[in-house]
């Protein structure tokens, strides 16, 4: 059986050996409830706090600013919910992840409002348009670091500066799930109030993430029932997953991220070049301001589901359509907002385990799949 080629790292990246080793060590040790005072509990607390510092160091945050969650979806919901107690209006771009969009929309049942700001054809927001949407009762602005479908990196620093100038007290939440572990992130330097992260996106274990909360900011917690995470998120901490998350952050801290991003950009550039040689293929997203590991293609004349099936048959894992709507044939809201064909897209994304041979094999399989499908159409 031929080797599988996994090019869907933007959905989830296979768990790294560093994470597996750290989690195995955690499970092999004696642990207790870190909220208690006995020896096992104190050892557990020490391990969690050591891991918290490693995560904080990687993302340019203070240790006390890291709140461990079950992943970016929970972090986003906590940011939306917590901010909602400060006002009655939130602002977001049209290309935010569905976790942001739907969490904000759910608040409308409580007589609240949301304003959705459009983007250009590359999926980029304009800072002045985001800031102009802020009203006297606005409690939060949501701006993703980079888009999860087309890879476009947003002008986050400019958005935050424009929003601060218009309303110094509005909370700014950055969804960094697609960018974390792919590009350098410095939470303190951005000036953001809240940032959402998910470990599985860059090779950490699933079911763990973080909400970075600016020092001094108090939010109404989403999950209540205990004093864990300094009363900011109730529930027994997932110590093993936290250890795995921290191990990946430690492995990438320093030169590791730069080296991996350089390799990913080289591989994605090759994919882009090879894909452009296929008739009827269009590149989506910003040509330069983009994540290093992600390529989004528009393919005319053929259905993306058929392309995916053909690729999978040839041993290539990829993705098409809306990021979290694989079971739906609904068009991509991101591509619709960009004004491009929202029904015929394919996303290829590389990661820590991708080889140059994987890239070559995927490009060959894509060219063959499109040609075969067009020939079948007659």
Q: Which two tokens stand for residue 327?
A: 């079971």
Residue 321 CA, chain-centre distance (Å), reads: 16
Q: Which of 155, 156, 149 is nearest to 187 (CA)?
A: 156
**Please, which residues have CB within 8 angstroms of residue 378's CB and are 6 or more apart in sequence?**
none
Q: Which of 345, 245, 253, 251 is nearest to 305 (CA)?
A: 345
**Alpha carbon 326 to chain centroid, angstroms:** 17
* DSSP 3-state of 89: strand
Out of 143, 163, 296, 324, the active site residue is 324
Q: Give the C-alpha separation, 56 to 361, whole Å.
A: 38
Cα gap 333→98, rounded to integer Å? 9
**What residues contact residue 372 under an 8 Å CB cut-off, 6+ apart?**
310
Q: DSSP 3-state assignment of 319?
A: strand
**What is the helix, strand, coil percentage profile of the chain, to 5?**
45, 15, 40
Residue with tokens 């293609």: 297
Q: How far apart are CA 18 and CA 181, in angstroms?
A: 14
> With contact defined as beta carbons under 8 Å apart, do 77 and 53 qualify?
no
Tell me whether residue 143 is one of the annotated catalytic residues.
no
Alpha helices (H) along 89-145: 98-106, 127-132
Please check whether residue 198 is in contact with residue 166, taking contact to mean a CB–CB distance below 8 angstroms.
no
Q: Tell me how long the chain is.
A: 378
- Tokens at 363, concatenated: 């490009």
State the DSSP H helix or E strand holding residue 72, giving kind and residue range, or none if neither: helix 72-83
Instruction: With both helix axes pointing from N to C terminus, report the angle between 255-276 and 239-252 in degrees, rounded to the nearest 10.
Output: 80
8 A C-beta contact, residue 256 and residue 182 = no
Residues with a known catalytic role: 324
């Amino acid at each position: 059986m031929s080797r599988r080629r996994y090019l869907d790292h933007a959905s989830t990246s296979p768990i790294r050996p560093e994470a597996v080793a750290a989690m195995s060590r955690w499970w092999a040790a004696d642990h207790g409830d870190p909220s208690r005072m006995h020896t096992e509990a104190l050892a557990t607390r020490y391990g969690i706090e050591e891991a918290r510092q490693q995560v904080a160091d990687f993302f340019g945050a203070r240790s006390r600013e890291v709140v461990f969650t079950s992943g970016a979806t929970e972090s986003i919901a906590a940011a939306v919910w917590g901010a909602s107690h400060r006002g009655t209006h939130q602002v977001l771009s049209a290309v935010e992840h569905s976790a942001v969009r739907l969490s904000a929309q759910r608040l409308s049942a409580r007589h609240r409002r949301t304003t959705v700001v459009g983007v250009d054809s590359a999926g980029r927001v304009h800072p002045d348009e985001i800031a102009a949407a802020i009203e006297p009762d606005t409690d939060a602005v949501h701006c993703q670091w980079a888009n999860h479908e087309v890879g476009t990196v947003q002008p986050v620093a400019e958005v935050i500066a424009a929003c601060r100038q218009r309303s110094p007290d509005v909370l700014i939440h950055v969804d960094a799930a697609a960018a974390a572990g792919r590009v350098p992130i410095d939470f303190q330097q951005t000036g953001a109030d809240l940032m959402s992260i998910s470990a599985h996106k860059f090779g950490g274990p699933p079911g763990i993430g973080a909400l970075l909360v600016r020092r001094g900011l108090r939010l109404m917690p989403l999950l209540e029932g205990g004093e864990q995470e300094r009363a900011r998120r109730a529930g027994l901490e997932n110590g093993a997953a936290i250890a795995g998350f921290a191990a990946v952050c430690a492995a990438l801290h320093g030169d590791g991220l730069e080296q991996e991003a350089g390799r990913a950009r080289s591989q994605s550039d090759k994919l882009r070049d090879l894909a452009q040689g296929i008739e009827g293929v269009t590149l989506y997203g910003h040509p330069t301001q983009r994540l290093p590991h992600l390529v989004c293609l528009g393919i005319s004349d053929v259905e993306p589901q058929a392309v995916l099936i053909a690729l999978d048959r040839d041993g290539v894992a990829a993705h098409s359509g809306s990021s979290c709507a694989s079971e739906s044939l609904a068009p991509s809201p991101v591509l619709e907002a960009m004004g491009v064909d929202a029904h015929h897209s394919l996303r290829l994304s590389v990661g820590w385990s991708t080889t140059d041979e994987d890239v070559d094999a995927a490009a060959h399989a894509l060219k063959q799949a499109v040609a075969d499908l067009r020939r079948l159409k007659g």
